[in-house]
Chain A
Amino acid sequence: MAKLRKIVSDPLADNNPVTWQVLGVCSALAVTTKVSTAVVMSLALTAVLCCSNVVISMLRKMIPNKIRMIVELCVIATLVILADQILRAYVYETSKQLSVFVGLIITNCIVMGRAEAYALQNPPFKSLLDGLGNGLGYSIVLIAVASLRELLGSGTWFGLTILSESWYTGNTLMLLPPGAFVIIGLLIWGQRTFVSKTLREED
């Protein structure tokens, strides 16, 4: 049981896909100007990641080694198109703001990486937990970055005004991709200095 819990908890901080493995940074820069888009993107990626891990794990004994990448891509692409259609059906406005980035989940290294590194070797339930853990790890970083950017850039959080415009001047750099770069860099710095002390000493 503790082992299963570790599969989920490990990617949240110590082995976080974004801040530790530095994967999926492209979308973390693109969709984090507002918390609402970041949340939708996180949900979409987590759902795709869980499903793709389960499907690929179930197929793992049937997939010939030589064409495994193509098979994985087919599975992931199908799921991404499904996710995109669902978003368009139910949250049309947000899906318009996410534009191509939902479609680009196909190329997100986290999804491909977990399929390659985990789902191909492990049974479906464990793969599901692994997908959940990594999806949540991605979500935590995405929402943290989006919160900081929206708060510092527009003075709002989830559309609610926190810092009133009467005394707070929005920092427009935070609304540009370089602002996200700086924030992710600072998060990585903070994590490697304060949170993952044990991992740092192993290096």
Chain B
Amino acid sequence: MKFILKLHDSIRHHFKRGGKFEHVGPIFDAADAFTFTPLEETHLGAHVRDAVDIKRVMVTVIYALMPCFLFGVWNAGHHYNLAHAVANASFIQDMIRGLIIVMPIVFVSYAVGGFWEVLFACVRKHPINEGLLVSGFLFPLVLPPTIPLWQVAVGVSFGIVIGKEIFGGTGMNIVNPALLCRAFIFFAYAKSMTGNVWIASAGDVVADAVTGATPLGVLSSLTDGQTAADAIAGGQVNFMRMFIGIEPGSIGETSTLACLIGAAMLLASGIASWRIMTACVLGLVSSAALANAFGASPMAQTPAHYHLVAGGFAFGTVFMATDPVSAAATNAGKWIYGFLIGVLVIIVRILNAGYPEGVMLAILFMNLMAPLIDSFVVDHHIRRRRKRA
């Protein structure tokens, strides 16, 4: 390690202000911070410093995402093998097939995201941020495994540049960049995002267990006369399968179980807000119960616990809604913010047959409302204190 430090020290002056390579300084700083110390060192006096910095937070989130990621890899491989009639594929075969499908998406996401991050860091002269580690990893998890790689590249560019860099980079974004990326692809290339995730190409022998529509897709397109209860009784929609996540869908979102493991890690380390997660669940359960009582459509008749494990709700609640930058910041605000996300998810799922998955739209919308909620909460707080005085 000594010689790397020596090397860095010997070329450091080229990258400082006025040096030969001043304009690519952030790349050097990033390498320096990655191998040695953070950029901010204390030189004088005694300081108490917490070891939790952005790097540590981001790495913890990556760990928490691992269960979802690994499950997603297996699930993608599993469904590929089912759709392509690979008979009795073993666990290892499913994993390898999954890695072949998922890794290119992860690689494109990091490469394209990293390119924009470095470009903006160099032009704007701010350090390269660790936030990319997480967003680069979130992008693939919210996309379906069948997505063409060029669409990943376009979507990630949009998410990073319009969602984050325009507003000043990590910590300045007003909406969640990964969800913005998903929304972009959703509206721009709807064909790759909705409907059947795995479609066996012509000539393939289609297996008996054809994996087609996601559970939400099934529920939103039931034919006349069929009710949600029929779909559940007929096994088209199965609670345990949805809970564990052996369903077609976006790579990281299908397994509620994996999301719960991630949630436990995030809550134990204190990184994500338990208020937001609880409020999301409360909002969803109460509005689903209300819909059960009054609604008539199959989606409205679907019991609340099915809504909890369907689609991207668990993933969105644990990893997206709790993003500390775009969520509400005050405690009361977090309750309101989370609750309304849950309510909006149900409203979109029930009322808009065109978008059976409402989690993305609900979270993006509430991201925009978060500053307003905070402003109300703070105003209310000030008024209350004033009355008391």
Contact = CB atoms under 8 A, between A and B. Distances in A.
Decide if the interface of chain A is mainly helix, strand, loop or mixed: helix
B166 A173 contact: no
B189 A182 contact: no
A171 interface: yes
A17 B106 CA distance: 43
Given A182-B162, A189-B166, A169 B189 contact: yes
Interface string B302-338: 0000000000000000000000000000000000000
Contacts of A174: 188
Nearest to A189: B166
Contacts of A176: 187
Interface string A156-193: 00000000000001011110101000100000010000
Interface size class on chain B is: under 10
Interface size class on chain A is: under 10
A174 B190 CA distance: 12
B116 interface: no
B166 A172 contact: no
Decide if the interface of chain B is mainly helix, strand, loop or mixed: helix
Interface string A11-28: 000000000000000000
A176 B190 CA distance: 13
A178 B187 CA distance: 10
Contacts of A182: 162
Contacts of B184: 173
Nearest to B187: A173
Nearest to B188: A173
Interface in A99-130: none
> 6 closest pairs, A vs B, by CB?
A173-B188, A173-B187, A171-B188, A172-B188, A169-B189, A172-B190
Given A171-B154, A171-B189, A172-B188, 4 more contacts: A172-B187, A172-B189, A172-B190, A173-B187
Interface of B: 154, 162, 166, 184, 187-190
10 contacts: A171-B154, A171-B188, A171-B189, A172-B187, A172-B188, A172-B189, A173-B187, A174-B188, A176-B187, A178-B187
